[in-house]
Amino acid sequence: MPHKQEFSNRWGIILASLGMAIGAGNLWRFPRLAGQYGGTFIVLWILFLLIWSIPLLLAEFSIGKKFKSGVIGSYGKLAGEKLTWLGFFITVCTLGIAFYYSVVTAWSIEYLGIAISNLFQSLVSDFSLKETLEHNPGYLNQQWDQLSNKSITTVSLYVLIIIIGLIVVGKGIKNGLEKANKVLIPSLFILLAIVAVSALSMENGFKGLDYMFSVNMDHFKNPTVWIEALSQSAWSTGAGWGLMITISSYSRAKEDVTLNTFIGAFGNNTASLFAGMAILPAVFALASTESEAVSFLQSGSQALTFTIIPKLFSQIPGGGFMSVVFFLALTLAAFSSFLPMLQLLKSNLEQAGVSGKTMMISLFIVFTIFGFPSAYSLDFFSNQDWVWGIGLVISGLFIAFATAKYGAVRFKHEFIDGDSDFKVPDAYFKYSIIVNLFIGVILVYWWMSQGYSEHPWFTPSGAWNVLDTYSNATIVTQWGSVLLLGLIINKFLYRKFCKD
């Protein structure tokens, strides 16, 4: 049964696609990579926006608009009965991300609370995070360890996030997702602009911009820069997640595909550039030396957002306020990306005939059970990030494959061009889809070979290394289980989700 709800206008769907795309990756991963590899990275990141992200987003937008179904139903209707299980994989992959991504939202809120508390204490008492760090340099790491492992507060906040998310999506598309994004997205851009202006006004602030935009021709010869630019574009824009299929399945019948997709994609990249212009000047202004600034940027995972940013902002007058603004922006970004993930499962369940209270209870139970391990254990969180983060590229490949199988040019003429205010050239769409099939395979190989060197397929005793957080064995086992299950229940999936 096609969805009956619709966004009220073009802006509703644009804000939803911006909310979906702009997340924690824009606010931390992008500035980190832009600082490390400079303008070279940015040039390649723009290139991959055009080659990988926009063609996939165009395909996803038009698939959702055409079939007005959840991801499984839409994919099955496009690719045919025998391939419905590929849509099942895309759905499970994005849900795998949703279950741990909601934990990022919970952490963001926790740190927003901490930033507010620090600011308040510094105003009413002698508390100073800077002095605390001078006495105990490991203070922020200890705080992070407490919150990310076996923390009842984190688990409680995680459950609260799910409840708030369910209240929003439970109100429907117009009164839920659309209204929430009207507040979340403009607020996010304003907050980023505040941090950027504040950071640029610091002494040495412009040195960060210098690093961010300087072009080093040698970096073009470094494959890592190419792969990082591609993966950043792929994950940041949400191309291949199936989330755009979900959002556009609620579009109006005559909705423009091309222009709306371009606004969403370029808007997402604008948010990334703003974030870079906010974070990098702050890093360079506050680090004691340039090498210290660079080492900050090269240090590891997204989780370090929570230890480095408070440290940076603790060094300056007014930093307590900026810390609050940054974590508020991070919370809004994370929450606006979490909502379409909830909507993705909701729309699939709707298609399976679940509705009303049963729907809400089912969503709550599923998210609570499957997200709990990531909220409770950082190792489990990291494993899921590793497995489903790379899985997204497979999802993107499946979407490119279905488009190529249908005939890229035929697909474009029938699905994309009809109501679009402007049209991209046929050759651009066709060759991008074909090139993406190769790019996707190379990207997966690169990621898995990265893990292979340190995390072998088998343990020293010869056992399948499935329990290692970062092994290829854990990836293949989890992907394989989902693909096998999808294959086994393929006929059921087609009957349940694809027949109106």
Partner 1 sequence: MNAISVISMVINLSLVFGGFLYFLLLAIKKEKANSEK
Binding residues for partner 1, rule: CB under 8 A, are: 9-10, 14, 39, 42-43, 46, 206-207, 209-210, 212-215, 256, 259-260, 262-263, 266-267, 269-270, 273, 421-422
Report in angstroms how near the CB of residue 174 gets to partner 1 at its nearest: 18
Which of residues 269 and 474 has its CB atom nearest to partner 1 in the complex? 269
Please give the C-alpha separations between residue 120 and each of 113, 123, 134, 356, in angstroms, as whole numbers. Answer: 10, 5, 20, 42
Number of DSSP helices (H) and strands (E) in the chain, helices first? 24, 0
Report in angstroms how near the CB of residue 11 gets to partner 1 at its nearest: 8
Tell me if 228 sits within 8 A of 33, measured CB to CB.
Answer: yes
Report in angstroms how near the CB of residue 319 gets to partner 1 at its nearest: 24
For 139-178, b/e burial (b = at least 16 CB within 10 A) is bbeebbeebbeebeebbebbbebbeebbebbbeebeebbb
Report in angstroms how near the CB of residue 236 gets to partner 1 at its nearest: 12
Q: What single letter denotes the amino acid at residue 260?
A: N
Which of residues 39 and 170 has its CB atom nearest to partner 1 in the complex? 39
Please give the C-alpha separations between residue 179 and each of 168, 184, 190, 271, 418, in angstroms, as whole numbers. Answer: 9, 9, 18, 20, 28
Report in angstroms how near the CB of residue 258 gets to partner 1 at its nearest: 9
Which of residues 13 and 378 has its CB atom nearest to partner 1 in the complex? 13
Residues 348, 353, 357, 358, CA torsion sign: negative
Find, among 3, 7, 10, 18, the residue nearest to 421 by Cα. 10
Which of residues 239 and 375 has its CB atom nearest to partner 1 in the complex? 239
Cα R_g (the chain), whole angstroms: 22
Report in angstroms how near the CB of residue 78 gets to partner 1 at its nearest: 26
Report in angstroms how near the CB of residue 10 gets to partner 1 at its nearest: 6
Can you tell me the distance from the alpha carbon of 234 to that of 390, in angstroms, rounded to the nearest whole number? 11
Other beta carbons less than 10 A from residue 345's beta carbon: 22
Place of tokens 């990836």: 475
Map residue 458 onto helix, strand or coil. strand
Can you tell me the distance from the alpha carbon of 464 to that of 459, in angstroms, rounded to the nearest whole number? 6
| Residue 331 tokens, joined | 């919370």
Tell me if 342 sits within 8 A of 165, measured CB to CB.
Answer: yes
Which of residues 134 and 421 has its CB atom nearest to partner 1 in the complex? 421
Which of residues 273 and 341 has its CB atom nearest to partner 1 in the complex? 273
Which of residues 118 and 260 has its CB atom nearest to partner 1 in the complex? 260
Can you tell me the distance from the alpha carbon of 312 to that of 89, in angstroms, rounded to the nearest whole number? 41
Residues 162, 167, 171, 175, CA torsion sign: negative
* Helix (H) / strand (E) containing 348: helix 319-351
Report in angstroms how near the CB of residue 422 gets to partner 1 at its nearest: 8
Report in angstroms how near the CB of residue 420 gets to partner 1 at its nearest: 10
Which of residues 23 and 267 has its CB atom nearest to partner 1 in the complex? 267
Can you tell me the distance from the alpha carbon of 260 to that of 23, in angstroms, rounded to the nearest whole number? 19
Which of residues 213 and 321 has its CB atom nearest to partner 1 in the complex? 213
Contacts of residue 122, defined as CB under 8 A and 6 or more positions apart, other chains included, come to: 128, 129, 320
Report in angstroms how near the CB of residue 188 gets to partner 1 at its nearest: 14
Can you tell me the distance from the alpha carbon of 189 to that of 290, in angstroms, rounded to the nearest whole number? 28
Which of residues 30 and 338 has its CB atom nearest to partner 1 in the complex? 30
Report in angstroms how near the CB of residue 417 gets to partner 1 at its nearest: 15
Place of tokens 């117009």: 174
Backbone angles phi and psi of 464, in degrees to 5: -60, 125
Tell me if 260 sits within 8 A of 13, measured CB to CB.
Answer: yes
Which of residues 259 and 444 has its CB atom nearest to partner 1 in the complex? 259
Per DSSP, 487 falls in state H
Which of residues 157 and 263 has its CB atom nearest to partner 1 in the complex? 263
Report in angstroms how near the CB of residue 286 gets to partner 1 at its nearest: 18
Report in angstroms how near the CB of residue 99 gets to partner 1 at its nearest: 31
Which of residues 258 and 331 has its CB atom nearest to partner 1 in the complex? 258
